[in-house]
A and B are shown apart, each in its own frame.
Chain A
Amino acid sequence: MSFKVLLKKDWKQVSILWMLLVFLGVIAFTVPVWSQMQYFDQELRNIQENPDEYADWIDGDSSDLSVQDFFNENNGTGYWIGDLQSLIPMGGVLFLFVIFGALMASVLIGAERNSQMSDFTMSLPFTRNQLYISKWLIGTVGIIVSSVLGGTLMIMMIRFSDYAFLMEGSTNRVIALVVLLMLSGISFFSAALWMGSFGGESISQVIWTFIALVFPIGLIALVQGSVYAFSQQYDSRYAFFDDLFQSTFLRVLSPFSNLANVDMYQYFTNQAEWQKFLAIAPWSALAFIALSFGLGLWMFNRAPQENNGRFFMFSKWLWLIHIIMVLCFAMLGGIVLSAFSMQSGFALYIVGFLIGGFIAHLLAKRLLYRFNLKLKS
């Protein structure tokens, strides 16, 4: 049976968001570039009109300063206001992909679970694998189209502007960065879809998505904070966790960590950083996509459909979520309380740990179990 049928059905649900993603993707890739160029132009005019004010930084007569001179490494002015790295709108595009990844995934799975659409879908002559793959494909293609269109327009804008020289010899790096943004977008979407495989309705799915994106970095930060609270010094154990933040392991588990570890200041200028980028960043993103897609597919297949509407569909595993929640809040409580002491905060940490853990336990009982049933009803 044609796979197009499922795509057609999913398209009906997500078409407005999909088209909005592509449109806003083009905006997010291009408008910041245009406005950054306007900013460069303005700065250049300022220097040309007020050469005296810039005499300390720019050698010679700056009243006829060219664009190339403006970004001349020896002058320093270009460095001061940024160059190619400040033209690439990483933040806006990532924000868009996080928001739309979560929205599309929650419409494709969570909203289905909210209504009878989920029953209808599951009663169709398709396997759950086919259903999940179709949903993943439609969102992923949206992010690819958005990135390819937006990225291409962005590169063309730079290429045909006065600032084209900034990209000379760096076109591949700009393309690689667009590809990384695209892979990160797919990562966010894959993670959000995976959360829908066990989050029983759309709000739960969005909450789980937020938790999943923050969890790997947050957990390490909590353990590192706890270690510091005991010792009150930046020793080798503390450094171990610092290294962990930059490790490939965490870059695979967290798309945010993968992006944060790209040194944008050196990316366009340092060959070693470029080589390191090529060796780690795209592969980490691909590994995360494979991991989240695989786990999502596996859990979507096994999710008990009768638990639709619940915060967490695998109710047999609620105890594990409960324990993790209590541990995390307990560590947070310990860290916060021990911050009041300048010396080793062992006692305060334990008190904070117990208070945080107890409050988290009460919260978990109320939110995880009662909320779980309330959503169902």
Chain B
Amino acid sequence: MLTVQQLSKTIDRQQVLEDIDFTVDSGEIIALVGRNGAGKTTLLRTMVGIIRPDKGDVRYGPSSIFEKAELKRDVIFVPDSADALKHYTINEAAALYESIYPSFNRSIFRETLTRYNIDNKKIRQLSKGQKAMVTLSLAFAVQAKYYLLDEPTDGLDVVAKSDVLKLMIAQVEARNCSIIVSSHQLHELERIADRIIMIEKGRVKAIMSLEEARETSVKLQVVFNDQVPVELLERKDIEIINVTGRVALFMAKERTKELDTFVDAHDPMLVEEIPMSLEDIFRVQLGGEASVF
């Protein structure tokens, strides 16, 4: 089990991480979501020892990852670009990984490359999608226990995104490894994540499954008999998505009886609960704007 304990970090007098606490169990995919600058990348970089925390620890089993560097054979960080290996050919990169990680399985790596028709050439000459596939394939061929992926689908086209997601799911199914993935592509995370960690201003705002998140918040479409009441529009605890004539579509951070009573008091013609997407949950919980995505 990978345990993050009370992780705190201050950079330039700004608290970037504050008392981050969570555990990662085997075989789960955790989505790390938060607005730009919330501290997601810093958290991932700290979890693998690139950045030293001011306080707290990251423990793999009984040992601290900051004290035993060899533990990082089982905790692989994949950054959002393949710049680090851009001067390597694919074969050279595989040889490097093979020499660093004894568990690296070259045939698994080759198999993935063949499946996606990627030839051996310098990594900088590959397309963005191919670079993402190569870096992920290299990491997954290590057969580690934990993977920390920072924006793995950022800037990829629809097909490449789908390939990356399939690769991630296949790894978890085949080897019961765990993946912590930070991304702004919420509709994709929604399809694969077992749990969501919401980060806001360096703090964990919530850790929950998608189902739990959906139960916490609510998205309603209400058709009123008359105009949409002004009192509804003025409420601070809801986010109005759209108002068209007598129809209001809104989300509430919390599902409360008081809200139900309020809506009922205005004698609506129709109240329909709309299933919440991860994007909706993100917006209502973290106050994100559509432009964030």
How far does the Cβ of A290 sit from chain B's closest Cβ, in whole Å?
25
Stretch touching chain B among A35-43, A59-67, A123-131:
A123-131
Verify if A85 is at the interface (C-beta below 8 Å from B). Answer: no
Report B91-105 CB contacts with A as 1/0, cut-off 8 Å: 010001001111000
Verify if A5 is at the interface (C-beta below 8 Å from B). Answer: yes
Q: A116-B83, A120-B85 in contact; A125/B72 too (CB < 8 A)?
A: yes
Q: A122-B50, A123-B50, A125-B69 in contact; A117/B88 too (CB < 8 A)?
A: no
Residue of A nearest to B12 (CB): A315
Q: Which of B11, B42, B69, B92 has the most CB of A within 10 A?
A: B69
Query: In the complex, A4→B70 CA distance in Å?
Result: 16
Q: Which of A1, A123, A130 has the most CB of B within 10 A?
A: A123
Residues in chain A near residue B50, CB distance under 8 A: 119, 122-123, 305
Residue of A nearest to B98 (CB): A5
Residues in chain B near residue A127, CB distance under 8 A: 69
A-B pairs with beta carbons under 8 Å apart, 23 shown: A1-B100, A12-B92, A116-B81, A116-B83, A117-B83, A120-B85, A121-B84, A122-B48, A122-B50, A123-B49, A123-B77, A124-B100, A125-B70, A125-B100, A126-B69, A130-B69, A304-B52, A305-B45, A305-B50, A305-B52, A306-B11, A306-B45, A306-B51
CB-based A-B contact count at 8 angstroms: 67
Q: A115-B84, A119-B45 in contact; A8/B99 too (CB < 8 A)?
A: yes
Query: In the complex, A126→B70 CA distance in Å?
Result: 6
Query: In the complex, A171→B233 CA distance in Å?
Result: 95
How far does the Cβ of A366 sit from chain B's closest Cβ, in whole Å?
18
Verify if A236 is at the interface (C-beta below 8 Å from B). Answer: no
Query: In the complex, A130→B71 CA distance in Å?
Result: 15
Residues in chain B near residue A116, CB distance under 8 A: 79, 81, 83-84
Instruction: Find out whether the CB atom of B84 lies under 8 angstroms from the CB atom of A8.
Output: no
Q: A119-B50, A305-B51 in contact; A125/B71 too (CB < 8 A)?
A: yes
Residue of B nearest to A8 (CB): B99
Given contacts A116-B79, A123-B76, 16 further A-B contacts (CB under 8 A): A5-B96, A12-B92, A13-B87, A115-B83, A116-B83, A119-B45, A123-B49, A123-B77, A124-B69, A124-B72, A125-B71, A125-B100, A125-B101, A126-B69, A127-B69, A130-B69
Residues in chain B near residue A270, CB distance under 8 A: none
Instruction: Find out whether the CB atom of B87 lies under 8 angstroms from the CB atom of A119.
Output: no
How far does the Cβ of B217 sit from chain A's closest Cβ, in whole Å?
34
Residues in chain B near residue A9, CB distance under 8 A: 96
Residues in chain B near residue A306, CB distance under 8 A: 9, 11, 42, 45, 51
Residues in chain B near residue A305, CB distance under 8 A: 45, 50-52
